[in-house]
Structure 1
Amino acid sequence: MGGKMKALVKDKRGFGAVLAEVDIPSIADDEVLIKVKATSICGTDVHIYKWDKWASSRVNPPYVFGHEFSGEVVQIGQNVAGVQIGDSVSAETHIVCGRCMQCLLGNAHICQKTKIIGVDRMGCFAEYVAVPAQNIWKNPNHLSHDVACLQEPLGNAVHTVLNDSIAGKSVLVIGCGPIGLMTVAVAKASGASLVIAMDVNEYRLSLAKDLGTHIVLNPLEQDPLEVINKLTSGNGIDVVCEMSGQPTAMNQGFKMVANGGRVSILSLPTTPVSIDVTNDIVFKGVTVQGITGRKMFSTWYTVSNLLAGNQLNMNELITHRLPLEDYEKGFELMMEGKCGKVVFILE
Structure 2
Amino acid sequence: MLALFKPSAAPGLELDERPEPEPGPRDVKIKVLRTGVCGTDLHIEAWDAWAASTINPPIIPGHEFYGEVVEIGSQVADVQVGAMVSGEGHIVCGTCRNCRAGRRQMCIRTLGVGVNRDGAFAEYVVIPESNVWVHHEHIDPELGAIFDPFGNAVHTALSFPLVGEDVLITGAGPIGLMAAAVARHVGARFIVVTDVSAPRLALAGAMGADLTVNVAGSRIIDAQRRLGMREGFDVGFEMSGHPGALPEMIANLNHGGRVAMLGLPSEPIDVDWAKVVTHMITIKGIYGREMFETWVAMSAMLHTSAWLRAALSSVITDRFPAERWQEGFDAARAATGGKVVLDWSAISPAPHLASASTAATS
User: Fold match, TM over 0.5?
Assistant: yes
Determine which of 299, 313, 337 is the counterpart of 1:339: 337
- Code of the residue aligned with 1:11 in structure 2: it is P
The whole-number CA distance in structure 1 between the counterparts of 2:53 and 2:291 is: 26
Pairing 1:296-307 to 2, within 5 Å after superposition: 296-307=291-302
Matched, 1:217 2:213: yes
**Structure 2 match to 1:90:** 86
The whole-number CA distance in structure 2 between the counterparts of 1:12 and 1:248 is: 35
1:221 to partner: Cα distance: 1.8
Determine which of 241, 246, 271 is the counterpart of 1:245: 241
- Code of the residue aligned with 1:15 in structure 2: it is P
1:141 to partner: Cα distance: 4.3
Q: What does the per-residue CA deviation read over 1:248-307, in whole Å, with 9 as the maximum and x for residues that have no partner?
A: 12221122222101111111113222212122x111101110001111111101000111
Secondary structure in structure 2 of the residue aligned to 1:321:
strand
Determine which of 158, 163, 182 is the counterpart of 2:159: 163
Determine which of 318, 321, 324 is the counterpart of 1:323: 321
- Code of the residue aligned with 2:300 in structure 1: it is N
Secondary structure in structure 2 of the residue aligned to 1:300:
helix
With over 3 angstroms needed to count, the CA separation of the structure-2 counterparts of 1:131 and 1:229, relative to structure 1, is same
1:26 to partner: Cα distance: 1.6
Determine which of 281, 284, 287 is the counterpart of 2:279: 284
Secondary structure in structure 2 of the residue aligned to 1:203:
helix
Q: Which runs of 5+ in 2 are unaligned?
A: 346-362
**Structure 2 match to 1:13:** 9
The whole-number CA distance in structure 1 between the counterparts of 2:73 and 2:229 is: 60
Q: What does the per-residue CA deviation read over 1:91-132, in whole Å, with 9 as the maximum and x for residues that have no partner?
A: 111111111111112211111111111111111011100000
**Structure 2 match to 1:24:** 20
Residue pair 1:257, 1:263 contacting (<8 A) in 2 also: no
1:151 to partner: Cα distance: 1.1
Decide which moves more: 6-15 or 206-215: 6-15
The whole-number CA distance in structure 1 between the counterparts of 2:79 and 2:129 is: 7
Secondary structure in structure 1 of the residue aligned to 2:244:
helix
The whole-number CA distance in structure 1 between the counterparts of 2:23 and 2:207 is: 40
- Code of the residue aligned with 2:150 in structure 1: it is L
Pairing 1:135-150 to 2, within 5 Å after superposition: 135-150=131-146
The whole-number CA distance in structure 2 between the counterparts of 1:57 and 1:235 is: 44
1:339 to partner: Cα distance: 2.0
- Code of the residue aligned with 1:274 in structure 2: it is D
Secondary structure in structure 2 of the residue aligned to 1:23:
coil
Residue pair 1:229, 1:236 contacting (<8 A) in 2 also: no
The whole-number CA distance in structure 2 between the counterparts of 1:250 and 1:328 is: 33
- Code of the residue aligned with 1:293 in structure 2: it is G
**Structure 1 match to 2:195:** 199
Secondary structure in structure 1 of the residue aligned to 2:224:
helix
**Structure 2 match to 1:72:** 68
1:342 to partner: Cα distance: 0.7
Matched, 1:52 2:53: no
Matched, 1:133 2:116: no
Residue pair 1:68, 1:124 contacting (<8 A) in 2 also: yes
Q: What does the per-residue CA deviation read over 1:228-258, in whole Å, with 9 as the maximum and x for residues that have no partner?
A: 3664644111111011000012221122222
Matched, 1:104 2:100: yes
With over 3 angstroms needed to count, the CA separation of the structure-2 counterparts of 1:229 and 1:80, relative to structure 1, is same
Matched, 1:293 2:288: yes
- Code of the residue aligned with 2:286 in structure 1: it is I
The whole-number CA distance in structure 2 between the counterparts of 1:238 and 1:48 is: 36
Decide which moves more: 215-224 or 41-50: 41-50
Determine which of 291, 305, 308 is the counterpart of 2:303: 308
**Identity score, percent:** 42
Residue pair 1:67, 1:124 contacting (<8 A) in 2 also: yes
**Structure 1 match to 2:263:** 267
Decide which moves more: 147-156 or 220-229: 220-229
Pairing 1:179-198 to 2, within 5 Å after superposition: 179-198=175-194
The whole-number CA distance in structure 1 between the counterparts of 2:152 and 2:62 is: 16
The whole-number CA distance in structure 2 between the counterparts of 1:210 and 1:126 is: 33
The whole-number CA distance in structure 1 between the counterparts of 2:22 and 2:137 is: 26
- Code of the residue aligned with 1:240 in structure 2: it is G
Residues matched between the structures, number: 342
Secondary structure in structure 2 of the residue aligned to 1:247:
coil
